[in-house]
Amino acid sequence: MEFLTISLLNGVSYGLLLFMLSSGLTLIFSMMGVLNFAHASFYMLGAYLAYTIASKIGFWPALVVAPVLVAGVGALVERFGLRTVHKFGQVAELLFTFGLSYLIVEGVKLVWGLAAVPYAIPPELNGALFKVFGSEFPKYRAFMMLISVAMLAALYLLLTRTRIGLVIQASLTHPEMVEALGHNVQRVFMLVFAGGAALAGLAGMIGGNAFVTSPSMGESVGTIVFVIAVVGGMGSLPGAFIASLLIGIMQTFAVTIDASLSDLFSLAGVAVTDNTAMSSLLRMPVSQVAPILPYLLMVLMMILRPRGLLGKREG
Amino acid sequence: MKPLIQASAGSDMQRRGLLQSAHSLRWIIWGATALVMLVLPLVFSSGFAIALLSQIGIMIIFALSYNMLLGQTGMLSFGHAVYSGLGAFVAAHVLNQIGASHFPLPVSLLPLVGGFGGMLFGVLFGYVTTRKSGTTFAMITLGIGEMVAASSLMFPGFFGGEGGVPTNRTVGHAVLGITYVIALWCLVSMIAMYAWTQTPLGRIANAVRDNPERAEFVGYNTQRVRFLVMVLSAFFAGIAGGLSVIDFEIVTAENVGAAQSAGVLLATFIGGGAFFFGPVIGSVLFVLFAVALSNLTPAWLLYLGLFFVLVVMYVPGGVSSLLMKQVPLIAARKLHRMLPSYAAVLGAAMMVLCALVLTVELVYKLQIDSDNGTAMRLAGLSFDAASWAPRAVAAMLWVLGALASRLAAARLRDAWDRVQREIAGSNA
C-alpha cells in the first residue's frame, strides 16, 4: 500500500512534468504543423539558465526569469529560422529544428561544459512534506505538481477565456479568416512558439534539479515526449494529457518492480528452466525492461489504433 | 494536321537522339565511377586514406539506401541505423560461425547476409512504421530507433553487451583486398539502386512522394508501396552494415544508435535527395567532416550542425541541386560570367568561416579546456586565448565578413538574374 501510494504520487508528478513538455509540443504542432525537434533542447536550456540565474539572484526570481529567457530564444528561432524555411515545406521545418537541437546541445556544452552542473533544490523546499505509512514524500515533488497544475490551469484559462486565447484557437483552424479580420497570424505563430518554448523552459527549470542537469538530459526526455504525442494522438491536448500521465506512472512503477514473466508463468504452474526457449528474456525483471516500455506501448498503439488515443482519423 | 505530325515526328527524332546520347552518357558516368573506385586506392595508398575511402564507400551505400526513403518516396526516417546496425550484428554472428567453420560462405559474400538480416528487420519494423506517413512516420521511426538502441544493452547474447561483438575477417582465402571488396559492393549496390529507380515500383514510389491521394486514386495502396520500399531500403542498409563488419571487425551498440541514424540523414540531406548522385556527394562530405574534422577539433559536431542548418535554410536541395543549377549555364556557355561573383561569395564565406572558427575555438579553449592553460595554436599561429588580441581579431573578422557577405550576395543575385534573363532571351 505504502509502495503503491508513493509510486503513484511520484508517477503523477513525473507525468505532469511530461505533460508540460508535450503540451507545448502539441500546441506548436497543431498550430503550425511543425514538429519541434528542439523542444527537449529548450527543456535543457531552461534547466541550465535556471541554474545560472538561481545562483545569481536566487531560485524564486529565476522561476520567472529563466522561462521568459527561453521564450525569447524561442521567439528568435521562429522569427529568423522557422519563418525562413517555412516556404520549403514541412520536411525542411522538421529538419531545421532537428539541426537546431544539435546546435543548442553543442552550445550548452560550450558555455556550461560537458559534465552535469550542480543545480540544487532550494533549501526551503528540501525535506519531506508528509509521511505515508513510514515513507516520506518529498516537498519538492509536491512543488513540481503544484507548479505544473497551476501552469496548466493558467494555460487553459488563457486559451479559453481570454481574447488572445480565442485568436490563437481561431488561428489553429482558420488562419486565413483570422488574418482577414485584421489579426497578425504570423505574430500569433511566434507567440505560440515562444509560449511552447517557455513551457519547456519551465519544465526544465523545475525538472533540472529534481533529476540531473546535464547536456544529455534533453535527449533522454525528448523521444519520450514524441512517444507521448504519438500515443495520445497527434495534435490532441487531452490525448497528450492522458498519455503523459500513463507513461509517467508506468515508468515510475516499472523501475521498482522486480518480477519477471517467469514469475507470472510459475503462478500458472509453468516453471521456466534454463532449457526453456528464450529463458533469459522470460527471466528479465520488469525494472530492466523499463526503458523500452514506452516504445513498446507506442508500437502496440500503432498496431491496434494507429491514430492514437484521442487523435483524429487521417484522410 | 500535317505540320503537327511533322513536328511530332521531328521531336520524336530529336527525342530518340537525346535518349541515345543520354544512354551513352550513362555508360560513360558508370564507367568513370568504376574507374575512380579502381584508381583512388592506388593513388591514396596510405593507411589513413584507405580507411577513409572504405568508410566513404560504406557510407555511400548507406546514404543511397536512405535516399530510397527520403528522396524517392518522401519518407523521413530517424531510425535508419536500426537496419544497417542489426544487419551488421547478424553478419558478425555469421562471420564468427564461418570462423568456427560451422558455416561455409566466402567472406566476400558476407554483406549479402547483412542485407538479408536488415531486410528481415525491415519487414518486422516496417510493418509498424509504414502504417503512417509524413511527420508521424518520422516520430515512430525515432521511437523504434530508441527502442532498439535501448534494448541493445538488455540482450547481451545478440548485441554483445557493452563491448559489442568482435569478429575476425581473415578466415578463408582473400580474393581481393578489403578496399576492393568494398568498392565492388559499392558499385554493384549503386547500380542496383539506380536500376530500382527505373522500375515500376520506383516510379510509383515517386508518385506516392509527390501526390499520395492521386496514387491511391489510381489504384495503388500507398501503405503497401511505403512498406515495400522500406524493406528494399533496409536490405541495402544491411549490405552497408555487413561491409562495416568486414571493415571494422567489430559491431557495437553504437551501430544501431541515434547518432548513426542522424548521420545518414545529415549526409543524405547535405548531398541532396532530389538527384540520384546527391547522397554520394553527401557521403563524401560527411565522412570527411566526421573523420578529418573530428581529429582536428572537439567542436566538430557544432560545425557539422551549423553546416546542416545553413543547408536547410539556404540550399534546401543540397549540394547536388547547387551543382545541377550550373548545368543550363554550361549548356549556354555562360558559366564564366558567374565565376567572379562565385569567387566573391566564396571569399566572403571564408571570412565568416574564419571568424566562426576563431570564436568557437576561443570559447572552447576558455570554457572546457582551460585546465591545460590558455595558450593555443590555430592555423599555425600561437596565441593566448585569454588575451584581448584574438578576440579583437575575431570581432573584426565578424564585422568584415558580415559586410562582405552582404555585398557578395547582392552581386551574386544581380549576376544570376542577368544571366538567366539572357538565357531566356536567347531561347525565345
The shortest C-alpha distance from B282 to chain A (Å) reads: 16
What residues of chain B lie within 8 A of the CB of A111, using their CB?
Answer: 363, 367
- Which residue type, as a one-letter code, is found at position B39? V
pLDDT in tens, B67-77: 999 989 989 99
What residues of chain A lie within 8 A of the CB of B136, using their CB?
Answer: 230, 234
What residues of chain A lie within 8 A of the CB of B151, using their CB?
Answer: 292
- What is residue B5's predicted lDDT score, i.e. its pLDDT? 37
CB contact under 8 A, B302 and A110: yes
Q: Which three cell numbers stand for residue A307?
A: 491514430
Q: Phi first, then psi: what are they for A130, rounded to 5°?
A: -155, 170
CB contact under 8 A, B128 and A96: no
What residues of chain A lie within 8 A of the CB of B121, using their CB?
Answer: none
The shortest C-alpha distance from A153 to chain B (Å) reads: 28
The shortest C-alpha distance from B21 to chain A (Å) reads: 34
A259 Cβ under 8 Å from any chain B Cβ: no
**Residue B55, burial from CB neighbour count under 10 angstroms (0-12, 13-18, 19+):** buried
CB contact under 8 A, A291 and B150: yes
CB contact under 8 A, A84 and B313: yes
Q: Pick the residue from chain A with its C-alpha nearest to B303.
A: A103
Residue among A88, A103, A306 minimizing CB distance to B306: A103
Q: At what angle do helices A185-208 and A139-161 cross, to 10 degrees?
A: 170
A84 Cβ under 8 Å from any chain B Cβ: yes
CB contact under 8 A, B135 and A223: no
**Bridge partner list, B376:** B383
- What is residue B1's predicted lDDT score, i.e. its pLDDT? 33
Q: Can you tell me the distance from the alpha carbon of B117 to that of B89, in angstroms, rounded to the nearest whole number?
A: 8
CB contact under 8 A, A223 and B146: yes
Cα angle B385-B391-B396, degrees, rounded to a multiple of 5? 150
Residues of chain A with pLDDT under 70: 1, 271-282, 313-315
What residues of chain A lie within 8 A of the CB of B313, using their CB?
Answer: 81, 84-85, 96
CB contact under 8 A, A226 and B155: no
What residues of chain B lie within 8 A of the CB of A314, using their CB?
Answer: 132
**Residue A32, burial from CB neighbour count under 10 angstroms (0-12, 13-18, 19+):** buried
Strand boundaries in B227-373, DSSP class E: 250-251
- What is residue B9's predicted lDDT score, i.e. its pLDDT? 43
What residues of chain B lie within 8 A of the CB of A243, using their CB?
Answer: none
Listed in sequence order, the residues at least 6 apart from B317 whose beta carbon sits closer than 8 Å to its beta carbon are B272, B274
Q: Which three cell numbers stand for residue A302?
A: 500503432
**Bridge partner list, B250:** B166
- Which residue type, as a one-letter code, is found at position A261? L
CB contact under 8 A, B364 and A106: no
Tell me which of B127, B139, B321 to substitute to probe the interface with A (most A C-beta atoms closer than 10 Å).
B139
**A residues 226-245 closer than 8 Å to B (CB):** 226-227, 229-230, 234
**Residue B413, burial from CB neighbour count under 10 angstroms (0-12, 13-18, 19+):** exposed
CB contact under 8 A, B154 and A288: yes
What residues of chain B lie within 8 A of the CB of A311, using their CB?
Answer: none
Listed in sequence order, the residues at least 6 apart from A1 whose beta carbon sits closer than 8 Å to its beta carbon are A133
**Residue B34, burial from CB neighbour count under 10 angstroms (0-12, 13-18, 19+):** middle
The shortest C-alpha distance from A180 to chain B (Å) reads: 29
pLDDT in tens, B226-236: 999 999 999 99
- CA separation (Å) from B302 to A249, B92, B255, B361? 36, 33, 22, 11
CB contact under 8 A, B154 and A111: no
**Residue B327, burial from CB neighbour count under 10 angstroms (0-12, 13-18, 19+):** exposed
Q: Can you tell me the distance from the alpha carbon of A78 to that of A103, in angstroms, rounded to the nearest whole number?
A: 15
Listed in sequence order, the residues at least 6 apart from B12 whose beta carbon sits closer than 8 Å to its beta carbon are none
CB contact under 8 A, A295 and B155: no
If you ran DSSP here, which 8-state letter would residue B376 be given?
E
Q: At what angle do helices B47-67 and B178-197 cross, to 10 degrees?
A: 20
Model confidence at B176: pLDDT above 80: no
Instruction: List the domains of chain B with CATH numbers.
Output: 27-316 (1.10.3470), 327-427 (no CATH)
pLDDT in tens, B12-46: 555 566 666 777 888 888 888 888 888 888 788 78
- What is residue A276's predicted lDDT score, i.e. its pLDDT? 62
The shortest C-alpha distance from A136 to chain B (Å) reads: 31
Q: Does residue A238 or residue B5 have the better pLDDT? A: A238
CB contact under 8 A, A299 and B143: yes
A281 Cβ under 8 Å from any chain B Cβ: yes
pTM of the model: 0.84
pLDDT in tens, B365-421: 777 776 776 677 776 677 776 778 778 888 888 898 888 888 888 888 888 888 888
A289 Cβ under 8 Å from any chain B Cβ: yes
What residues of chain B lie within 8 A of the CB of A112, using their CB?
Answer: 367
Listed in sequence order, the residues at least 6 apart from B318 whose beta carbon sits closer than 8 Å to its beta carbon are B269, B270, B271, B272, B273, B274, B278, B281, B282, B311
pLDDT in tens, B271-322: 988 888 899 999 999 998 888 788 887 788 888 888 899 888 888 888 888 8
Q: Which three cell numbers stand for residue B183?
A: 568498392
The shortest C-alpha distance from A128 to chain B (Å) reads: 34
Highest mean pLDDT: which of B125-139, B195-209, B291-305? B195-209
Q: Are B69 and B202 in contact (CB under 8 A)?
A: no
Q: Can you tell me the distance from the alpha carbon of B67 to that of A99, in angstroms, rounded to the nearest whole number?
A: 18
The sign of the torsion formed by the CA atoms of B177, B178, B179, B180 equals positive
Banded pLDDT at B112 (limits 50, 70, 90): very high
- What is residue B4's predicted lDDT score, i.e. its pLDDT? 37
- Which residue type, as a one-letter code, is found at position B306? L
Banded pLDDT at B175 (limits 50, 70, 90): low
In chain A, the N- to C-terminal Cα span, in Å, equals: 47
ipTM entry: 0.83
Model confidence at B269: pLDDT above 60: yes
Label residues A41-75 b or e (16+ Cβ within 10 Å = b). Answer: bbbbbbbbbbbbbbeeeebeebbebbbebbbebbb
CB contact under 8 A, B155 and A281: yes
What residues of chain A lie within 8 A of the CB of B308, using their CB?
Answer: 95, 99, 102
A35 Cβ under 8 Å from any chain B Cβ: yes
What residues of chain A lie within 8 A of the CB of B135, using their CB?
Answer: 29, 33, 35, 90, 94, 234
CB contact under 8 A, B151 and A92: no
Q: Are A193 and A42 in contact (CB under 8 A)?
A: no
What residues of chain A lie within 8 A of the CB of B132, using their CB?
Answer: 302, 306, 314
Q: Pick the residue from chain B with its C-alpha nearest to A112.
A: B367
Tell me which of A221, A255, A260, A298 to substitute to probe the interface with B (most B C-beta atoms closer than 10 Å).
A298
CB contact under 8 A, A295 and B146: yes
What is the CB neighbour count within 10 angstroms for residue B406? Answer: 11
Q: Can you tell me the distance from the alpha carbon of B190 to that of B422, in angstroms, rounded to the nearest whole number?
A: 38
Mean pLDDT of chain B: 84
CB contact under 8 A, B139 and A35: yes
What residues of chain A lie within 8 A of the CB of B302, using their CB?
Answer: 102-103, 106-107, 110
Residue among A90, A280, A292 minimizing CB distance to B147: A292
Phi-psi region of A33 (alpha: psi -120 to 50; beta: other; left: phi over 0): left
- What is residue B173's predicted lDDT score, i.e. its pLDDT? 56
**Bridge partner list, A213:** A117
Q: Tell me the domain boundaries of chain A.
A: 2-217
Q: Name the percent of chain B lying above pLDDT 70.
A: 92
Closest CA to B87 of B193, B246, B279: B246
Q: Can you tell me the distance from the alpha carbon of B332 to that of B132, in angstroms, rounded to the nearest whole number?
A: 45
**Residue B222, burial from CB neighbour count under 10 angstroms (0-12, 13-18, 19+):** buried
